[in-house]
Amino acid sequence: MITFDNIRYRHLAIDTLAIAPGVTSVIGPNGSGKSTFLKLCAGIAEPDCGTVLVDGCAPRETEIGYVNEFPDRNILFSTVTDELASPLRFRHTPCRETDRSVRACMETMGITRLLDRNMQDLSGGEKILVALAAAFIGRPRVLILDECDSHLDADRCAWLNTALRASGAGYVIRCTQQMETAAEGDHLVYIEGGGVVHAGTPAAVFPLLADTPFYPFSWRWPV
Amino acid sequence: MRLVLDHLTMGHQLWSLTANGIFFPGVHLVSGDVGSGKSTLALMMAGLLAPESGTVIRDDIPQMMLSFQFPEYHVTGLSVAEECRSWDLDPDAVIRSAGIDVTGETAALSLSRGELKRLHLACVLARDYDLLLLDEPFSSLDCPGKEWVCGQLNKRAGGITVIFTHEQSIFPDIDHIWEIVGEELADCGDMPGAVVRWQHAPPLVKKLICTGRSPLALTPEGIREAACRTRG
């Protein structure tokens, strides 16, 4: 489990929360604290008080793949190849194995055409696909994605939902503003005003949001 | 008033785009796969990027605005108030319109991306432009934010609005649909007929079409009407 206990950080306050393995969608209004929540899960931020644990370990002691909501803030290197190779190089993976993994990852992600491109020449969606690939390539235990789907077309979104399941990550935690996507997850966390207002399965949480714009269209008007 | 794309071509060794068409006043939707050239097309429409061949004619369009996909690219002020003043707008009015819980002193780049997008769009939508080009206006916005943008666009008195987007659920009242397919801008036509020719239609719209309930509009009301329509 990923556990939050007595967390206080900036305007986020979470007394207790447990996230089970699987795909967890995090939804809520702009500025409610969703990205801050993800940064605490990833160990990018540390709480002023309280603890976040991933199966009993601190996030910084766990292999985590993270994609920032600002596509440009994911970029460390100038070329797609270097960007993708970087998580493996940081681990001192042998060069030949790194090259093999980069090529295999690009094929899996359907982005082999980007191989020789510069990061700054990519479209917004392509930058996100490369950032996703860099998050996937290290086969992390936890994948944390901050609104990646807002830059992807419908086919890529559908592909991503399948790829997340096949990634081997025990936990996938993703912010999304696509409620149809959130409805497909295993768990749903609704954050508002810096606190977790609802948490549970989509079937349990969405009915509590039935009178809000966060209720999925396909649930409101089944086709 | 019209925007003419006269046999535009653009590309490099791995990618190309051709575009031909006329955009009349109304709300136009342009969709396409990741990397298909939507942002490039927006830049060419705005005159910020020259096509390799062909011309863009902005006929009777004295005022134009392009909103970039990434709101952070627009930021020129250190604080929210400075950013609003750079648009010659009153910060308090913009903050109220954006519906964000910040002060004028808040650092602009400390906002969440959704808050920054709201702030940026509130600045853009505070004025009327003859040609309004919006590159991914819905990305990072929460559902109420998307509804707010749609409401603002539906209130626009005239002019040409072109929305480049991957949005799947919440749309304003769209008049005309275009999409990039096979490296070419395809004209799907006016609504409601356009929707059946629209290859990038959202899954819910495709389901409605498959069940013989093609929506007359892409607004939430249009989707609801189609979903609730008795199948004949």
Structure-model confidence comparison of residues B26 and A168, the more confident one: B26
Q: Which residue has the tokens 């967390």?
A: A7
Which residues, other chains included, contact A108 with Cβ-Cβ below 8 Å and sequence gap of 6+? A136, A163
Residues of B in contact with A29 (CB under 8 A): 142, 144-145
Between chains, do A177 and B140 touch, taking CB under 8 Å as contact? yes
Same domain as B97, residue B18: no
Does any domain span residue A141? Answer: no
pLDDT of residue B232: 55
Does any domain span residue A82? Answer: no
Is A216 in contact with B150 (CB distance < 8 Å)?
Answer: no
pLDDT band at A70 (very low <50, low <70, confident <90, very high): confident
pLDDT band at A182 (very low <50, low <70, confident <90, very high): very high
CA–CA dist B5, A125 (Å, integer): 24
Q: How many CB atoms lie within 10 A of CB B47?
A: 11
CA–CA dist A153, A110 (Å, integer): 14
Same domain as B109, residue B152: no
Of B127, B154, B180, which residue is a domain's last?
B127
CA–CA dist B1, B4 (Å, integer): 10
pLDDT in tens, A37-62: 999 999 999 999 999 999 999 999 99
Does any domain span residue A151? Answer: no
pLDDT higher than 80, residue A7? yes
Instruction: Take residue A194 and report the two structure tokens written for it.
Output: 């810096």
pLDDT in tens, A139-165: 999 999 999 998 899 889 988 999 898
Same domain as B59, residue B148: yes
Same domain as B79, residue B55: no
Same domain as B186, residue B88: no
DSSP-assigned states of every residue in chain A: -EEEEEEEETTEEEEEEEE-SEEEEEE--TTSSHHHHHHHHHTSS--SEEEEEETTB-GGGS-EEEE-SSGGGG--SSBHHHHHHHHHHHTT--HHHHHHHHHHHHHHHT-GGGTT-BGGGS-HHHHHHHHHHHHHTT--SEEEEESGGGGS-HHHHHHHHHHHHHS--SEEEEE-S-HHHHHTSSEEEEEETTEEEEEE-HHHHGGGGTTSTTS-HHHHS--
Among A30, A36, A181, A191, pick the best mutation site for testing chain B contact (most B Cβ within 10 A).
Answer: A30
Question: Chain A, 19-38: which have a CB under 8 Å from a chain B CB?
Answer: 28-31, 34-35
Same domain as B139, residue B25: yes
Distances (CA, A) of B29 to A116, A165, B102, B192: 32, 32, 32, 13
Tally of domains within chain A: 1
Residues of A in contact with B140 (CB under 8 A): 30, 69, 147, 150, 177
Does any domain span residue B141? Answer: yes
For chain B, 232 residues long, give each residue's pLDDT as a single digit of tens.
999 999 999 987 778 999 999 999 999 999 999 989 999 999 999 999 999 999 999 999 999 999 999 999 999 999 999 999 999 999 999 999 999 999 999 999 999 999 999 999 999 999 999 999 999 999 999 999 999 999 999 998 789 999 999 999 999 999 999 999 999 999 999 999 999 999 999 999 999 999 999 999 999 999 999 999 876 5
Does any domain span residue A120? Answer: no
pLDDT higher than 70, residue A115? yes
Same domain as B148, residue B104: no
Does any domain span residue B111? Answer: yes
Distances (CA, A) of A60 to A23, A29, A44, A93: 20, 28, 8, 20
Domain extent, residue A195, equals: 1-63+172-223
pLDDT of residue A109: 87
Between chains, do A153 and B34 touch, taking CB under 8 Å as contact? yes
- Establish if A197 touches chain B: CB-CB under 8 angstroms: no
Among A177, A178, A218, pick the best mutation site for testing chain B contact (most B Cβ within 10 A).
Answer: A177
Residues of B in contact with A178 (CB under 8 A): 168-169
Does any domain span residue A190? Answer: yes
Question: Chain B, 54-83: which have a CB under 8 Å from a chain A CB?
Answer: 69-70, 72
**Looking at CA atoms only, how far is residue A74 from chain B in angstroms?**
14
Same domain as B79, residue B42: no
Between chains, do A152 and B118 touch, taking CB under 8 Å as contact? no
**Looking at CA atoms only, how far is residue A180 from chain B in angstroms?**
9
First-to-last CA distance in chain A? Answer: 36
Between chains, do B141 and A30 touch, taking CB under 8 Å as contact? yes
Does any domain span residue B99? Answer: yes
Residue B152's domain is classified under what CATH number?
3.40.50.300
Residues of B in contact with A126 (CB under 8 A): 34-35
Domain extent, residue B117, equals: 66-127
Does any domain span residue B226? Answer: no
Between chains, do B224 and A221 touch, taking CB under 8 Å as contact? yes
Question: Chain B, 88-117: which have a CB under 8 Å from a chain A CB?
Answer: 100-102, 111-115, 117
Between chains, do A30 and B115 touch, taking CB under 8 Å as contact? yes
Instruction: Take residue B49 and report the two structure tokens written for it.
Output: 């990027």
Give the whole-number percent of chain A exceeding pLDDT 90: 81
Same domain as B178, residue B80: no
Does any domain span residue B210? Answer: no
Nearest residue to A35 (alpha-carbon basis) of B75, B119, B95, B113: B113
Same domain as B111, residue B77: yes
Does any domain span residue B122? Answer: yes
Same domain as B176, residue B73: no
Does any domain span residue B144? Answer: yes
Does any domain span residue A109? Answer: no
pLDDT higher than 90, residue A210? yes
DSSP letter for B51, please.
-
pLDDT of residue B185: 97
Tally of domains within chain B: 2
Does any domain span residue A125? Answer: no
Nearest residue to A78 (alpha-carbon basis) of A36, A12, A122: A122
- Establish if B230 touches chain A: CB-CB under 8 angstroms: no
pLDDT in tens, A73-107: 889 999 999 999 999 999 999 999 999 999 999 99
Between chains, do B34 and A125 touch, taking CB under 8 Å as contact? yes
Does any domain span residue B209? Answer: no
Same domain as B47, residue B122: no
For residue A47, whether the previous peptide bond is cis, meaning omega lies within 30 degrees of 0, is: no
Residue A182's domain is classified under what CATH number?
3.40.50.300
pLDDT of residue B231: 63
Does any domain span residue A83? Answer: no
